[in-house]
Structure 1
């Protein structure tokens, strides 16, 4: 047997002291009318008809009032409990039929409210884009929503285990890098560099750095020449040879750096373009680049870098999300405000949102209507039986007490009419 589900407490908002007082007052009124009819009936019975024929009419009215009051009391009470605590069949209807009522209520809601036709008809009367745009454009709303998005992002990352994600992200990056051919990528990069003459700028910078390096280390190079020169060569000869050679190298570097049409630059440009062509057409060149790429990817430093991608990205994003003045938060806020403006002013966006609102709402209704109906029925089924009956009586009991009052009055009038007709016939 399945284990019984625990009872679910009803919300405390259904407890209304004013409703309780009104219900108690109506019960006293209905009971008082019954007691009044009973007193009148007893008095008329004791007095008898010797004091006039009118006694019979009053007695018949009081008698019918008591019958009507008792019948309606039984009917109203039978909804919520057994009258006089007697297990009379077909009484205590709400406690006994609570689960069936919940199922019927869920089916009623599903069939009459949670249908595509009803929802779409309602949406035709609502300007969805304007309402959504006004909501997003309310003062401070975009900032709050960006903050809520940041909080949600932080909560989501807290649920994720870094020790699981770090190797997963590293594996994805490495797999993607291994699957990407290096030669076409390198060829495209070099093409962009050559087309923009960036390679000549790189050469000029390299020449300047080399010239500065030689100048800063002039003494070191002179010492190297002295060590390599034969001992019988005088120092002044070494100095002259070194000065002429050093000056020639510096002059050459300066000439290449100053002349954009220098032969070295043209040769450099031709060789680089030829290399780009080889990367695209020569399998051996592409294979060498691919082997170099694999060697780099296998290097421990590269592996450590790929393993730290998740932690670094997560830390940077969370830090930006937590800072109200960060560029990320500012961009999210601006994006929300731009969306609000488009929703209120751009006709294309408005028509798109209004049209898709129908489709989305219809899909949600078709997908979740049964689940919502099940939620209603299962929630009602988990309510405590006696508490449910009491709360429902508290909500509608005052109006139901009018049935007792009306039954007393109508029953008395019916009894009076019947008695009068009987007297006329007799």
Structure 2
């Protein structure tokens, strides 16, 4: 039915144009045979004669685009069937030069507010097309159910593990320590370590006493000097820790900070230190406990996706929905965030165009080449045939008016 509706207007206009041409021929024949009856009939004859010429010329031009007029193999006719491959290539080049270049896509994407549109939808999801949202939700849920979950989970876990292994933690840790020391954020950590050391010493002073007692000689144990020595050691250590806690410029504290600074430097620039950190990272990733945690993380994410997909209304009403609405509000209110997201969307579109634009253009060209001449002719004629028949009608009328004007000038002069 769709093809019939598309072809019918073109056929109707072709009938009208042909009828006008036949009518002009009849009027010319009648006017020619009765021209002696009145001078004005000559004007009618001139109009009809020129209209026939204009109509026939435009009929030939329009017909020559799609086929040979009257089936005669006249040179430079049936232009579209004979040049369909060149038309496909030209169309492909047109698409490439005007739509599928990174510069054009970037220019087209620049005025689009992708982040604002997403923000408005997230902030008020009920305002969208409910059927579209429900259909998309069912599609996502069916896809998640249909996939091999064990294999998919293994893939997700593998991707996460692979991404973690590519992260060079050494420089990141070194930069973090360096930034913390530069801003003085390491001081609370240092204070915490000192307090922890003091409490640990207080809770385990008996171990110090036992160690001194075991290593002291018999005379010291007999005279009780070992106990005095242990007390002196414990009191000295606790006094030193108290001084370090109260004095940011304490020598030992500065020494510890010097060690932290060296550690930060080594983490950033010492390849051996970075390799040691990488080995620790890989050991943690390969640890069965870590693998079980990744498995659980994927299962939780999959379950959450399924719940949201099967019941998007409930999902939007819960914490996830509240978070998405807050995100939508943020996208609408935070101009800087919108700029960042829109820039990312523009770069993504440009990247896709740069990578796959040539393939899309080749698809257009190859598709047209794959059509037979009849298919190309039929589709183009359906697309522009109605307007081409208007050209025939206009040619008939304009030709008649020109003939009438010429006859009028000839008669008056």
Q: Same fold (TM over 0.5)?
A: yes
Residue 310 to residue 113, structure 1, CA distance change in 2 (3 Å): closer
Rg larger for = 1
d(CA) in 1 for partners of 2:371 and 2:119?
Answer: 40
Q: Is the 8 A contact 1:72 1:403 kept in 2?
A: yes
Which of 386, 398, 402 is residue 398 of structure 1 equivalent to? 386
Which sections of structure 1, spanning at least 5 residues, go unmatched?
1-11, 177-191, 201-258, 269-296
Which of 155, 158, 164 is residue 148 of structure 2 equivalent to? 158
Residue 336 to residue 92, structure 1, CA distance change in 2 (3 Å): farther
d(CA) in 2 for partners of 1:343 and 1:163?
Answer: 32
Residue 362 to residue 321, structure 1, CA distance change in 2 (3 Å): closer
Residue 196 to residue 99, structure 1, CA distance change in 2 (3 Å): farther
Q: Is the 8 A contact 1:162 1:311 kept in 2?
A: no
Q: Which has the higher helix share?
A: 2
Q: Is the 8 A contact 1:133 1:343 kept in 2?
A: yes
Query: C-alpha displacement at 1:336, in angstroms?
Result: 3.8
Residue 154 to residue 423, structure 1, CA distance change in 2 (3 Å): same
d(CA) in 2 for partners of 1:379 and 1:318?
Answer: 40
* Superposition pairs of residues 344-359 of structure 1, within 5 angstroms: 344-359=332-347
Q: TM-score, normalised by structure 2?
A: 0.56
Per-residue CA distance 1:96-151 (angstroms, 9 max, x = gap):
3233222222222222233444444444433332122113333268x969968964
d(CA) in 1 for partners of 2:119 and 2:360?
Answer: 28
Which of 100, 110, 125 is residue 114 of structure 1 equivalent to? 100
The aligned length equals: 299
Q: TM-score, normalised by structure 1?
A: 0.54
2:27 paired with 1:43: no
Q: Is the 8 A contact 1:110 1:369 kept in 2?
A: yes
Q: Is the 8 A contact 1:114 1:365 kept in 2?
A: yes
RMSD after superposition: 4.9
* Superposition pairs of residues 19-418 of structure 1, within 5 angstroms: 19-47=6-34, 49-139=35-125, 151=141, 154=144, 157-158=147-148, 161=151, 195=196, 263=206, 317-324=301-308, 333=321, 336-418=324-406
Residue 54 to residue 138, structure 1, CA distance change in 2 (3 Å): same
3-state SS of 1:87 partner:
coil
d(CA) in 2 for partners of 1:320 and 1:199?
Answer: 44
Query: C-alpha displacement at 1:401, in angstroms?
Result: 1.2
Q: Is the 8 A contact 2:68 2:74 kept in 1?
A: yes
Residue 199 to residue 54, structure 1, CA distance change in 2 (3 Å): same
Which sections of structure 2, spanning at least 5 residues, go unmatched?
166-192, 212-282
Per-residue CA distance 1:369-422 (angstroms, 9 max, x = gap):
333322332333334532332233233222211211121122222233444555
d(CA) in 2 for partners of 1:367 and 1:314?
Answer: 31
Per-residue CA distance 1:262-306 (angstroms, 9 max, x = gap):
9479869xxxxxxxxxxxxxxxxxxxxxxxxxxxx9xxxx99x99
Name 1:281's counterpart in structure 2: none
Residue 127 to residue 111, structure 1, CA distance change in 2 (3 Å): same
